[in-house]
Chain A
């Protein structure tokens, strides 16, 4: 066995939180790396505490290790202190499971869930002794793979990643294992290029080196496959039925505290609420619920195995799960485990019904509750299709304070399309009213307003929108802070400079790869950590590459423009997205297609998929902008959008 542990161990005495690097979690494996097995190193390019809980990575870790032809281990980005020590002592990046060198694996696969971790991918490769650029790797180097939401615009990372997996990874990882296993057994025909070309034939796998890119000045002209067995458009993969994938079965239990340190059980994937800013909602359609009985079984088995005293029921909008109320009350009243088990529902919907569920599960310790209205006025919320009325919000807040919560946190975006100062000031107005409602119930009532700068994302109706610049975002945030001075509302905001850098990477093309490499070479790792972020590294890199940041970030795109991700398909028709963008500008909302007729965005129709939902009626609660009383659950709300999608 090639374990680096004896060389790593002496370095750990001198680093912060050495337990990040020891592995040994309950649920971790020491897989056998036989000659017949294709070995995967699954890397989360951020700290252990942030990366360990990642469900996607844990699911693939289990699925791969269950296969006789695969072995999977994990790694996380070493913190700056260990990275320096590894370089000083010439110790390469390693897996935390058996402390094998990263470069000994057949595949090194990264989870990319945020653009600001891109430079960490380069750092990990470099620490592993793998050339950061794919073009410099040879047959003996691992294949570098990436998955996760960011791969829906893979272009900025194409210099560094050999193959991207688009969409749900459960099925393609098996197919890739077979593909690489076959290639190895056949004596590696065609060398590295032969293997990459074979990978390009796996559905949902995008191999960027198989495509030619042409530019027309600053504009992109085309991305075309170089061979006719390489797809001109790579379609995302979708698990049709979550019930067939009850993973993770053995969630990892870390020895040190991590984020989301609890049992996490996924309720459903996909969301058709249709919030136009939300890439996660758009690219994960359609909605696929896990059967409630399977959820119950996973919770019960998970608590018994892990010893956790808290379970989170995760999804993009957990209160939308069919029969969420009965599921929650079953879990709360069932004495699973040793008793005193807490249930939490991340991503709460903004309405009184949801607060009712929250009060059922948080019988004690009602400190804070978070809602995300996102936009400050009803007009703007129609623009972004987050159809929450003021009444919905106030009813939710009234419910929260009256049932004993003292702190309400509100999430908003600034820099949204068509946003005017009155919309921004609408945030302050809402916050003041929320405080007023709170004060009727408790003197200690407080409200925190959290403001993030909006970054347009690929495969959303806002992919054509020019992001607000740094000074504009700053002006809006300052205006909002001034307006909320001397109130009980506190304002927290995200650094507009980091929002700008995220914008460069979010809708970048292949030319941004050189920029990312320069930022990394200048020492810019852990860019989502404000203490390590410097915009100067990004703007210097753009200047050195002769690229105009505003062209990438603040410019509106036109309908006929070739977008860097046009050859990657999330199933959403471009016509639908453009039409929805136009509806947005006209402040027209669009209903939820789970409960109203399909408007043919393309996902179900093209991929022969269907929503998998247990209830055909909307959940009780929010009026969803229809003005209809849905306090008991109810009939299908009226159609909101007067604009029909033009037939293509």
Chain B
């Protein structure tokens, strides 16, 4: 579908501060309104209720922040991409800031499938206090637990899908966990998680580090498209060379 009606662009944006409390769907709606406010020449889907052709990347949970979110949008005609970032940002709520827009090659792979690796900053904090005493989520005990996680060969967790509980090994998708140091409430870590063959939510990872811990502030810091052993920034992975050549 991509590119069949016009000119796809990829938009990179943040979701930071108070606005992290809105849902993925709400972000989508905010963008649709912003596109209308800025009067972008949108390409629409066919059918009874035509919608702009927008495709979002990986969902971000309510409450999580991000420095690196992406969405692809199809335009009905080519436009200069340089002024778009500032223009769209102006029509978006505070905290959702478009920091780059690139023209995309026709038939570039969809973001959902293309992105294979995500980097997070995850704060590990004490969970609800238990009878046994105070939970220590300072860097030292957390680092010890992290070492145990990274040292294990398998990490089997229960997954509930469509009402059925299945077991899955999530160890292969944990690429890296680094303890950065103390945070106000606990310990700050940075982690890299693959999105294939299964995906791990930050809360699940924290529970694997220690059942007594909880996630505090969570921020997605990077997304990568891995292709032929190379890490590519989603903005650089599938550029529309032809268009740029025409424009110059």
Q: Which residues of A contact B (CB under 8 A)?
A: 5, 12-13, 18-19, 21-26, 253, 255-257, 303-309, 337-338, 340, 364-365
Contacts and interface: CB of A to CB of B under 8 A. Distances in A.
A399 B153 CA distance: 70
A253 B93 CA distance: 10
Interface in B95-146: 95
A12 B93 contact: no
Interface in B16-62: 18-19, 21-23, 26, 29-30, 32-37, 39-40, 42, 44, 48-50, 62
A24 B19 contact: yes
A264 B77 CA distance: 31
A587 to B, nearest CB: 45
Sorting the interface of chain B by its residue count into under 10, 10 to 19, 20 to 34 or 35 or more gives: 20 to 34
Nearest to A24: B93
A49 to B, nearest CB: 12
A12 B26 contact: no
A293 to B, nearest CB: 23
Contact of B40 (A253, A338, A364): A338
Given A5-B18, A19-B22, A23-B18, 15 more contacts: A19-B23, A19-B62, A22-B18, A22-B21, A24-B94, A257-B29, A306-B37, A307-B32, A307-B35, A307-B37, A308-B33, A308-B36, A337-B36, A338-B35, A365-B48
B21 A364 contact: no
29 contacts: A18-B21, A22-B19, A22-B21, A22-B22, A24-B18, A24-B19, A24-B95, A25-B93, A253-B33, A255-B30, A256-B26, A257-B26, A306-B37, A307-B32, A307-B33, A307-B34, A307-B36, A308-B36, A309-B36, A337-B36, A337-B39, A338-B35, A338-B36, A338-B39, A338-B42, A340-B44, A364-B49, A365-B48, A365-B49
B91 interface: yes
A396 B49 CA distance: 25
Chain A at the B interface: SS class: loop
Nearest to B50: A340
Nearest to A366: B48
A18 B36 contact: no
A255 B39 contact: no
A18 B37 contact: no
Contacts of A303: 36
A306 B33 contact: yes
Q: Which of A5, A23, A26, A337 lies at the interface centre, i.e. has the most chain B CB atoms within 10 A of its CB?
A: A26
B93 A26 contact: yes
A306 B37 CA distance: 7
Interface in B160-202: none
Nearest to A5: B18
Contacts of A309: 32, 36
Contacts of B62: 18-19
A249 to B, nearest CB: 16
Contact of A307 (B19, B50, B91): B91
B126 to A, nearest CB: 13
B210 interface: no
B33 A19 contact: no
A473 B212 CA distance: 55
B3 interface: no
Nearest to B52: A338
Nearest to B91: A307
